[in-house]
């Protein structure tokens, strides 16, 4: 499938009369959904709206087969060693919690995270430190994107039970040397959990070769619906995890005093599942596979290189993380001197139709440690175009020209004097304020 022309497959990007075509540069938060994904979910409710694995009528049989086919699809897509170790959850956050809360911890055992983890891969460990007495250790990453191998080795030598890192950062787009991280952790007897929410959507992941014990992802970042995630694991490692929830679908039998759990993965999937969402997520995998992850990665990089060349010379703009686009191909994170990031995002949306993320990107700890209030993040995906990048560049340049340099950011920048901004104000858009996250 050629990436050219794919834009028409995304209803949210179809031009509407009287409205500027949207420029969506927030896929690191949530990707858009193509028509085949929507169709797959509608098909479930329309043609076989049954419960998987329970009844024996034709609706139930159909959804059961398709649900398990989706599991096979994720196992193949991720190069997982065993389909029985592919568990459906709600999102990457739940997958990380399943591992963290499901492992049997001894007081004093250590978990190692980086200082750039999403809250989903930090708050849980802080909670377990208070509740179960584990010790949380933090590896500081280099701002230039290089990996501190010596400091990592020193941490492992102190004795780590679990290393829990992002694969690709949602903050600045850098990727960690996952294979090196896994191999060295295993050499020291440590397990490895990787947050793959930002990586699995953009490049091939081969878990059997990578060797990570646990890999978490969310379908809503890879063209799928919200409310679907996956924990893919090495079977032996998953066998060390107790279910996060118990109840229907997790047991072979029960009495009033006892029960027997089903084999993996079903023991982890309690209650009625999000069948429509899982089937939609499977359709998203087929769409991504047809497009080609190598092609998507190259497309991301091409756009980011254009964006980086255009804005890296702006004296009041600072790129966060690695400076080279090739080291952060899907994300361009930047701060503007003297301009509040939320005001910048509002300016770009109302004036240019450019949607970006602003704030602390659910990595509050990283910003707090540096005394930063946040930044702007543009994230790229297969449906973006050169025109999208150029619109962002034009908006940023006008904003810089309009706001004088100074130590204090303005409370609300003046809107661009163009038709789109006037339309936004007339529709009440000027009163809207972005959420500060």
Structure tokens at 282: 């499977």
Q: Which residue has the tokens 């897509």?
A: 77
DSSP code, position 311: H
Contact 307, 377 (CB under 8 A): no
Structure tokens at 41: 């979910």
Structure tokens at 423: 């339309």
Can you count the helices (H) and strands (E) in the chain? Answer: 14, 15
Hey, what long-range contacts does 190-193 have (CB within 8 A, 24 or more apart)? Answer: 190/112, 190/156, 190/160, 190/161, 190/162, 190/163, 191/161, 191/162, 191/163, 191/237, 192/162, 192/163, 192/164, 192/165, 193/96, 193/99, 193/162, 193/163, 193/164, 193/165
- Does the annotation mark 362 as catalytic? yes
Contact 104, 240 (CB under 8 A): yes
Rounded to an integer, what is the distance from CA 79 to the centroid of its chain?
19
Peptide bond between residue 100 and the one before it cis (omega within 30 degrees of 0): no
Query: How far apart (Å, rounded) are the C-alpha atoms in residues 192 and 207?
Result: 12
Query: How far apart (Å, rounded) are the C-alpha atoms in residues 19 and 13?
Result: 11
Number of Cβ within a 10 Å radius of residue 85: 24
Task: Give a three-class secondary structure readout of 45-87.
Answer: HHHCCCCCCCCCCHHHHHHHHHHHHHHHHHHHHHCCCCHHHEE
State whether residue 90 is helix, strand or coil. coil
Contact 223, 284 (CB under 8 A): yes
How large is the C-alpha radius of gyration of the chain? 23
User: Active-site residue among 141, 219, 362, 389?
Assistant: 362
Contact 248, 16 (CB under 8 A): no
Query: Which are the catalytic amino acids?
Result: 362
């Amino acid at each position: 499938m050629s990436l050219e022309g794919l834009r028409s497959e995304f209803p949210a990007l179809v031009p509407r009369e009287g409205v500027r075509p949207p420029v969506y540069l927030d896929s690191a938060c949530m990707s858009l959904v193509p028509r085949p994904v929507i169709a797959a979910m509608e098909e479930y409710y329309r043609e076989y709206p049954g419960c998987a694995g329970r009844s024996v009528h034709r609706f139930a049989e159909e959804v059961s087969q398709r649900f398990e086919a989706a599991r096979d699809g994720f196992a193949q897509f991720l190069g997982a060693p065993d389909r029985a170790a592919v568990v459906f959850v709600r999102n990457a956050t739940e997958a990380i919690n399943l591992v963290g809360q499901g492992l049997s911890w001894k007081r004093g055992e250590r978990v190692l995270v980086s200082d750039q983890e999403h809250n989903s891969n930090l708050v849980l460990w802080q909670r377990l430190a208070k509740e179960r007495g584990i010790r949380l250790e933090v590896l500081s990453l280099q701002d230039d994107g290089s990996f501190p191998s010596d400091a990592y080795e020193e941490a492992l030598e102190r004795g780590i039970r679990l290393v829990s890192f992002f694969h690709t950062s949602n903050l600045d787009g850098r990727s960690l040397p996952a294979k090196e991280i896994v191999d060295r952790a295993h050499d020291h007897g440590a397990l490895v959990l990787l947050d793959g929410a930002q990586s699995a959507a953009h490049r091939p992941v081969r878990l059997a070769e990578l060797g990570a014990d646990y890999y978490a992802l969310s379908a809503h970042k890879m063209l799928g619906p919200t409310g679907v995630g996956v924990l893919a694991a090495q079977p032996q490692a998953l066998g060390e995890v107790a279910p996060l929830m118990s109840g229907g679908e997790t047991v072979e039998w029960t009495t009033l005093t006892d029960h027997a759990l089903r084999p993996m993965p079903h023991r982890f999937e309690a209650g009625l599942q999000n069948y429509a969402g899982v089937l939609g997520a499977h359709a998203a995998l087929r769409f991504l596979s047809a497009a080609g992850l190598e092609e998507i990665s190259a497309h991301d990089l091409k756009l980011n290189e254009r964006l980086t060349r255009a804005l890296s010379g702006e004296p009041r703009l600072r790129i966060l993380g690695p400076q080279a686009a090739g080291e952060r191909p899907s994300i361009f994170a930047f701060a503007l001197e003297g301009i509040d990031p939320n005001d910048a995002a509002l300016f770009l949306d109302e004036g240019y139709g450019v949607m970006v993320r602003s704030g602390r990107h659910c990595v509050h700890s990283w910003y707090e440690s540096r005394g930063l209030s946040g930044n702007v993040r543009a994230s790229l995906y297969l449906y973006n175009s050169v025109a999208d990048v150029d619109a962002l560049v034009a908006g940023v340049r006008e904003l810089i020209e309009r706001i004088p340099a100074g130590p204090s950011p303005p409370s609300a920048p003046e809107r661009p004097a163009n038709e789109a901004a006037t339309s936004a104000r007339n529709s009440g858009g000027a009163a809207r304020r972005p959420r500060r996250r």
